[in-house]
Amino acid sequence: MGAKSLVKLLLIGSGGREHALAWKLKQSPLLEKLYCAPGNAGIAEVAECVELNVADHAAVARFCKANGIDLVVVGPEVPLVAGIADDLEAQGIKVFGPSRAASRLEGSKGFTKDLCARNGIPTASYQRFDDAEDAKAYLKGQRFPVVIKEDGLAAGKGVTIAETIEQAHHAIDESLTGPFAEIVIEEFLQGEEASFFALVDGDKALPLATAQDHKRVFDGDQGPNTGGMGAYSPAPIVTDEIAARVMSVIIEPTVKAMRKMGTPFKGVLYAGLMIENRAPKLIEYNVRFGDPECQVLMLGLKSDLVPLLLATCDGTLKEQKPEWHDDAALCVVMAAKGYPGKYEKGSEISGLDAAGADPDVEIFHAGTKRDGKRILADGGRVLGVTARGATVAEAQERAYAAVDKIDWPGGFCRRDIGWRAIGSN
């Protein structure tokens, strides 16, 4: 399908990432119709939400055929690792997102570490284990802290930074007696983290913007890890020189290796990086846009998203040159009190219209549902209050001004999103 004809799209997912994608897709002059399954209260304002069991790939295929869907855009990682792209493409339906085999870059930490080792891609030194006693014996010769990762999807968790041998033993026992049959133990990397995104059409990789997110739940990077409490873009630490190095020593060798294995990668490749002394190392890959990184990327993208997604599927990325706004974007996640532990659903959120009145602010829904005219919290991370500004500091000021207009006693947020970038200005 050429990018000139109007397209009908089905977006799969229900979080803040999907609301940001829906918001951006809705602006395309090439869009005829946008569906989302299952969506949320915010997505329902820009797309037609449909009740579909996305784990039932045959049901998704039937919906696509019945509604003349030209492209399925898969937001979350779980359907990709489960092979939704393979099953839909077998029915002649075009999908933005990698195959089951290519999704192993996120679905298996061990697979990715082995690929890095074989292809000279800079990453932390590591070993894989499926036996607890072998893993504990290996620790005797290691410097602490060490990082212990469960080999599989763990919803942004499943990683332990063990400061002591006792913590490491506990993490090994917990992981290998749980749902995971294998772990990776790797060296602890020092430096500053950043997120790097590239579209990949199986052959060519096209770099997008960079971002930094805040994983810890409380100000000052304190408390337990979460799925992400906020993000900003671009990441000041990723200079043009470092970005070029990431492409040449991390992204492009990965794309080449996947193609050589007969499992070419098509979709968005999200590299979590650790940067020290201007030298980037790969922490891990994700095979989808990040959340909340997607929110700041979509605000920063000046170009139409639809041709970029189609070119990724069609193998024509070399013809694309996306344009970006010159300014910065910052997202503050508002979460339900108690998150990432136990939290209550159903509390009412008001003030959203006033908060989103600034043309430089967009409020993306992550975990909401509509009850008549009321918007209710329906998840752990609930809103992504996102703003643009000439600098990260200005974007931060606008985002928090919007946060302060939202009346939600059942929620909370960090008040220091972007502190690294603002501190370095």
Report CA Rg, the chain: 21
User: Is 114 inside a domain boundary?
Assistant: no
Q: What pLDDT score does 4 carry? A: 55
User: Is 115 inside a domain boundary?
Assistant: no
Which CATH number does the domain housing residue 18 bear?
A: 3.40.50.20
> In terms of domains, do 154 and 214 share one?
no
Q: What pLDDT score does 330 carry? A: 98
> In terms of domains, do 315 and 355 share one?
no
| pLDDT, mean of each 10-residue run, the chain (425 residues) | 75 97 98 97 97 96 98 96 97 98 94 95 93 90 89 69 91 79 90 96 97 95 92 96 98 98 98 95 95 97 98 96 96 97 96 96 97 96 98 97 98 96 73
User: Is 398 inside a domain boundary?
Assistant: yes
> In terms of domains, do 39 and 77 share one?
yes
Q: What pLDDT score does 180 carry? A: 67
Q: What pLDDT score does 3 carry? A: 45
> In terms of domains, do 295 and 272 share one?
yes
User: Is 109 inside a domain boundary?
Assistant: no
Largest CA distance in the chain: 62
Which CATH number does the domain housing residue 150 bear?
A: 3.30.1490.20
User: Is 224 inside a domain boundary?
Assistant: yes
Burial category of 342 from C-beta neighbours within 10 Å (exposed 0-12, middle 13-18, buried 19 and up): exposed
Q: Which amino acid is at 123?
A: T
Residue 15: CA count within 13 A, CB half-sphere: 21
Domain with 70 in it: 7-97
Burial category of 298 from C-beta neighbours within 10 Å (exposed 0-12, middle 13-18, buried 19 and up): buried
User: Is 124 inside a domain boundary?
Assistant: no
Q: What pLDDT score does 1 carry? A: 46
> In terms of domains, do 37 and 148 share one?
no
> In terms of domains, do 237 and 302 share one?
yes
Q: What pLDDT score does 2 carry? A: 45
Q: Residue 275 in contact with residue 238, Cβ under 8 Å? A: yes
Count: domains in the chain: 4
Report the C-alpha gap between 92 and 90 in whole angstroms.
5
> In terms of domains, do 203 and 296 share one?
yes
> In terms of domains, do 162 and 225 share one?
no
Q: What pLDDT score does 155 carry? A: 57
User: Is 294 inside a domain boundary?
Assistant: yes
> In terms of domains, do 217 and 267 share one?
yes
> In terms of domains, do 290 and 215 share one?
yes
User: Is 396 inside a domain boundary?
Assistant: yes
Which of 212, 198, 209 lies closest to 270, judged by CA? Answer: 198
